[in-house]
Structure 1
Amino acid sequence: MKGFFVGLQFLTRLKIVNQTEWKVEDFGASVTYFPLVGLVIGAFMWAFYSLAYSYIPVSLLMLMLVIFEFLFTGGLHADGFMDTCDGLFSGRDQERKLEIMKDSRVGSNGVVGFVFLTLLKWQLLVNLPIHVVPLVLVSMPLLSRYTMVISIQKFPYARPEGIGKIFADNAPKYALPVATLLALLPILCYEWLYVYLFVIALLVNLIINSYVTKHLGGTTGDTYGFVCELSEIFIILGAIIVSVI
């Protein structure tokens, strides 16, 4: 289970394992458990919502949840989202796009993209029917982290090195099948509605990663976060749509 704890510490602010003991194999092993890490994030979000729902207006509470997730994960995926926006939509050639994404400074595309992402996530959560809030708060981080496993194992890496490359090169071959089983476990509780959200996450991943690979020549650690964040948006949107049909 060391892989799980390494993944939990890498993808969140929880400090459980001594970071000096990490090996590249540990990073690879952690990929299998990304859905479980997402489940932990979702459990904390659901607990926060449950404790505060009776005391805080829904609009403010949902904004607080967006901020809570950002702080709980250390803004890791949001940072990747902004870097990807800067490079992917820069209008430059492939090599220059990758160079822009490596720049630690955030450009205008990244800032605008992050603002729109945050506002959209907030308003979508506000408009969620109350009976699907528990499902969305749990499945949104779970499935979005599952999409990262697909990104890592099913799409080529665009750079010869990088943190994302460590995950891609050292993830075991069984990571995706096991992660898929873990990601499907909530079906036991939510049945068809969760299957619907699972399919949405899968399609969003395949479409966005195909687009990213076409324009960047592959994926990067930043694009993992990009796909993760956009998957959450479409999962919430999908839950709203199916609730009103």
Structure 2
Amino acid sequence: MTTPSHSPSPSPNRSWFQQEWRGLLLAIGFFTRIPVPALPDFHEQELNTAAKYFPLVGIIVGAFAAIVYSLANAVLPQDISVLLSMVATIWLTGAFHEDGLTDAIDGLGGGWEKEQVLQIMQDSRIGSYGVVGIVLVLSLKFAALNHFPPLLVPVLLIAGHSLSRLCSVMVMATQRYVKFSGKSKPLATSMPLTHLAVAALLGLLPLLWLPSSWYWGIVPVAAVWMWFSLVLKKRIGGYTGDCLGAMQQLTEVSFYLGVLACAAT
């Protein structure tokens, strides 16, 4: 994860291409271990530009998983290849979203009042709710991907990672950021419709490689997104970074299960 250098001075004038390129590098550096150039004169407002590229980061992560799966599946059984693809994504992202899932489940499961929920989320220790949640989600991913024909798994990995990150972006667009006590900063403070449109295009694009009859697999994703969004709204009045990670994980596994249900009918 790349940490850009802050600058107290106003952001220098940059061309549209420079701004977008910095936003893309910021998104890649923030959410993956991929080395990116340092970003001098960084300003937190640039996170607003980076947010729309989160689904593209999902495509990159999914493509990496697809490559690992394809290479492994040439010489290894399907189940081991799927497991290695999951290990690859966890390594590439530094378990960023998985960590968010465990923290969010711990907070929402163990806390009653808003401040208590946020305090538990901020705790670096993992509780029983988080352990059970991450084990179940990873197990469901593994089991679902194992039931698909080998040629379709790479496409599903790319689509699942891009679509699920779009779901996180949609949380940012529809709810407010809830600060922990202290100096925590939001990933982005605004989501213009043009940025949301770019994110939607990038998040949905890999679905074009799937059979149209499988598009019904998005229904469970939408249902989980609405349910978890309502939970966040009711329990803490918005979202945190951990909640975005949890949304990504929950909607990713929902996509695999939804498509699997479509394929079975």
TM-score, structure 2 normalization:
0.84
The count of residues paired between Structure 1 and Structure 2 equals 245
Tell me the residue number matched to 1:225: 245
Deviation track 1:179-221 (CA, whole Å, cap 9, x = no partner) reads 1122232354336256434454333222211112111221111
Tell me the residue number matched to 1:76: 96
Aligned counterpart for 1:36 among listed residues 56, 59, 67: 56
Aligned counterpart for 1:99 among listed residues 106, 116, 119: 119
Q: Offset of 1:156 from its aligned partner?
A: 2.2
The alignment yields a C-alpha RMSD, in angstroms, of 2.2
Pick the structure with more helix per residue.
Answer: 1
Structure 2's unaligned 5+ residue stretches are 1-20
Residue 137 of structure 1 pairs with residue 154 of structure 2: no
Q: Which amino acid in the other structure matches residue 83 of structure 1?
A: D
CA distance in structure 2 between the aligned counterparts of 1:76 and 1:132, rounded to whole angstroms: 26
Q: Which of these two proteins has the greater Rg computed from alpha carbons?
A: 2
Tell me the residue number matched to 2:86: 66
Find the residue that maps to 1:166 and give its secondary structure. coil
CA distance in structure 2 between the aligned counterparts of 1:204 and 1:2, rounded to whole angstroms: 32
Kindly indicate whether the alpha-carbon contact (under 8 Å) linking 1:94 and 1:215 is maintained by their aligned counterparts in 2: yes
Task: State the identity as a percent.
Answer: 33
Structure 1's unaligned 5+ residue stretches are none
Deviation track 1:134-173 (CA, whole Å, cap 9, x = no partner) reads 3211101111111111011111222277898532315445
Find the residue that maps to 1:218 and give its secondary structure. coil
Go from structure 1 to structure 2 and tell me whether the alpha carbon gap of 1:183 and 1:199 turns closer, same or farther (over 3 Å shift). Answer: farther
Tell me the residue number matched to 1:166: 186
Tell me the residue number matched to 2:144: 124
Tell me the residue number matched to 1:55: 75
CA distance in structure 1 between the aligned counterparts of 2:133 and 2:220, rounded to whole angstroms: 22
Aligned counterpart for 1:203 among listed residues 198, 223, 238: 223
CA distance in structure 2 between the aligned counterparts of 1:178 and 1:164, rounded to whole angstroms: 27
CA distance in structure 2 between the aligned counterparts of 1:60 and 1:33, rounded to whole angstroms: 31
Q: Which amino acid in the other structure matches residue 43 of structure 2?
A: K
Q: Which amino acid in the other structure matches residue 79 of structure 1?
A: D
Q: Offset of 1:83 from its aligned partner?
A: 0.5
Higher relative contact order (CA 8 A, sep 6+): 1
Kindly indicate whether the alpha-carbon contact (under 8 Å) linking 2:61 and 2:89 is maintained by their aligned counterparts in 1: yes
